[in-house]
Amino acid sequence: MSYETHRESAVDEFADELVVLAGDYPELVVLGFVGAISSLVSGLLYAAPIIWILVVTGVATCRRLTSRYPQWFLPFSPIASWYGNVERRRQERRDHRMFLDAFTQCGLLAPSGGLQVESIRRTPPGCEVDVELPPGMDPALLQGAGPALAATLHVQGVTVLPARSAGHWTLAVRTTETLAPGQSAQATWPLIPALFAGRTVDAYRDNIPLALDENGRQVTGRLFETGYLLGGEPGSGKSVASQLLISALAADPGCVLVGIDLKAGLELRAWRDRLDSFARTPDEALVSLNAVAAEMHRRLRWLYDETDHRKVPHGTPLLGLVIDECAQLTGESAPKELRDAANAVLTQIVQLGRAAGVVVVICTQKPSAASISSSVRDLISTRWCLRVVSRPAAEAVLGPLPQDATRLPWQIPTAWRGVGLIRDDEGTVRVCRSYYLDEPTVDRLAELAALHRMAALAQGAWTLAVPPPGPGPGPGPDNPPRRRRRPGK
């Protein structure tokens, strides 16, 4: 064992002994006790108040000088480390006792005993507490005790996270409101440094960071074999959330991007040099949908005739379909003939596109049952609902709403842009705030993605040829697939 390791272990042991001796008494009481003992030892009991004042003043002065001029106190770092360990141990003991008292007050007891605190970790919103359930305790009792624990501890909220193992759970304690403006409103997208450095995204394997939940944990999503439905009223932050997904798809040079922007092309204008097809009117949108459907059926026939796979293997270019303001195409405002045709093709793409490598991103600022059919919504695995004005609008995006959500979409304040609920492909619903992208960053990401795409095309990357607006091919296959002859048949 080295000298440094031996010294650190000795400091830790001495700190533990002092914690036991000092208990949970205030610091001034401990210092006064030290002053009185020193006076008794020196035989100057009448000088105890003076020694106590000198000790307290000296400690306060050292703290101030240490924070302002840390380089002066480098020779005394072992003393500072010892004192920090003492304070940390005392704080841990206070926290353990505080949580055990709260568990007792909230009735989290069993005949065999109460909850046991295993560890406490500090997090930006507060802390995470690992607990162990006593034998015979129903986990549902702990899961329903979040509001009572928050009221007992006088904190913003307590969330019971999924069990780490049998009988071992984690409580996320929030002492601050992380979703409020000024807390995490300007959280930068973690992929920006890598993308600015010239790296790309593998849409098959990479998980994309999307948001931070109310406990400060990162919410990620994948691109392959999934789809996204985003809904939110104007000003809710839907555009920034959609730009995250578009940026991730565009950062894969092999991904073919088809953009449909029925807000006159304003939302996807920055990506026009990266898009393989760009539709800005309902008629152009229907042609693009038909072209995507035709390619999807071609891939399905290829999987059946030429391979033994049930889905496209890694290396097959993904086909990204981004639809902004989908209600203009499939909602009541669109002509009935166009609406019926678009709904039929889009439903077919969502139903069959997963195996063919088609990634669908649908955005709307008018979520309703009339604009988003249940046949489309229920087949999209990841749904993201930002602020809306009513429960029916939230259910049109998310489906059935969770009963234990700390905030529901129509309860989100108007100033909390980017805050919403995400239902992932496992059915878990979390309240979160999307990462932030400003317009200059989006423009730079679009420029880099276009350069990578041009380099890939120069090397023979596949692209989708979309015919000009007009009567396009139908969504069905051109001819029925032929059954491949098997060896020995």
pLDDT of residue 46: 59
- At residue 379's C-alpha, the angle toward residues 377 and 383, to 5°, is 55
Same domain assignment for residues 198 and 319: yes
Distance CA 463, CA 254 (A): 9
Do residues 269 and 330 make contact, with C-beta atoms less than 8 angstroms apart? no
Same domain, 215 and 290: yes
Residues 310, 303 contacting (CB under 8 angstroms)? yes
> Does 472 fall in a domain?
no
State the SS3 of 132-188. Answer: ECCCCCCHHHHHCCHHHHHHHHCCCEEEEEEEEECCEEEEEEECCCCCCCCCCCCCE
Q: Who contacts 150 (Cβ-Cβ below 8 Å, separation ≥6)? A: 156, 157, 158
Same domain, 157 and 299: no
- Range(s) of the domain holding residue 22: 3-91
Q: Does residue 350 share a domain with residue 256?
A: yes
Q: Are 196 and 205 in contact (CB under 8 A)?
A: no
Which residue type sits at 365?
Q
Give the span between the Cα atoms of 194 and 452, in whole angstroms: 14
Collapsed DSSP state (helix, strand, coil) of residue 213: strand
Q: Report residues of the chain scoring pLDDT below 70.
A: 1-56, 58-87, 182-186, 404, 465-489
Q: 16-28 b/e with 16+ CB inside 10 Å = b?
A: eebbeebeeeeee
**Whole-angstrom Cα distance, residue 358 to residue 81?**
56
Q: Which residue has the tokens 């981004």?
A: 322
pLDDT of residue 469: 41
Strand 256-261 relative to strand 218-221, pairing: unpaired
Are the CB atoms for 64 and 72 separated by under 8 Å? Answer: no
Last residue of a domain, one of 34, 62, 91: 91
Q: State the DSSP code for 112.
A: T
The pLDDT score that the predictor gives to residue 80 is: 55
In a domain, 142, yes or no: yes
Is residue 286 situated within a structural domain?
yes
Q: Please report whether residue 185 resides in a domain.
A: no
CA dist 393 and 421 (Å) reads 13
- Whether residue 181 contacts residue 132, with contact meaning beta carbons closer than 8 Å, is answered with no
236 lies in some domain:
yes
Same domain, 169 and 199: no
Cα–Cα dist 365/197, whole Å: 34
- List C-alpha distances in Å: 351 to 46, 282, 345, 356: 88, 22, 10, 10
> Is 152 inside a domain boundary?
yes
pLDDT one-digit tens code per residue, 9-26: 544 554 444 444 444 555
* Residue 274 within any structural domain of the chain: yes
The order of strands in the sheet holding 116-123 is 116-123, 126-132, 168-174, 157-165
Does residue 228 form part of some domain?
yes
Amino acid of residue 239: S
Query: Do 9 and 57 share a domain, yes or no?
Result: yes
Structure tokens at 27: 């610091």
Strand partners, 168: 132, 165
Task: Write the CB contacts of 219 (distance below 8 Å, at least 6 apart in sequence).
Answer: 209, 210, 211, 212, 213, 422, 424, 430, 432
Asked if residue 142 and residue 280 are part of one domain, the reply reads: no
* Pair 27, 119 in one domain: no
On whether both 85 and 129 belong to a single domain, the answer is no
CA distance 283 to 352: 23
- The phi-psi region of residue 387 (left if phi > 0; otherwise alpha if psi is between -120 and 50; otherwise beta) is beta
Helix (H) or strand (E) segment spanning residue 320 = strand 319-324
The length of the chain, given as a count of residues: 489
pLDDT at 322: 94
CATH code of residue 156:
3.30.980.40
Judge if 236 and 295 occupy the same domain.
Answer: yes
Residue carrying the six token digits 């030892």: 41
Residue with tokens 């080295």: 2
- The three-class DSSP label of residue 366 is coil
- The pLDDT of residue 17 is 45
Lookup: tokens for 151: 């009221």
Give helix 77-105 / helix 146-153 axis angle, nearest 10°: 130
One domain, residues 155 and 212: no
Same domain as 442, residue 396: yes
User: What's the total number of domains in the chain?
Assistant: 3
> What are 130-179's pLDDT values in tens digits?
999 888 888 888 888 888 999 998 888 888 888 888 889 999 998 887 78
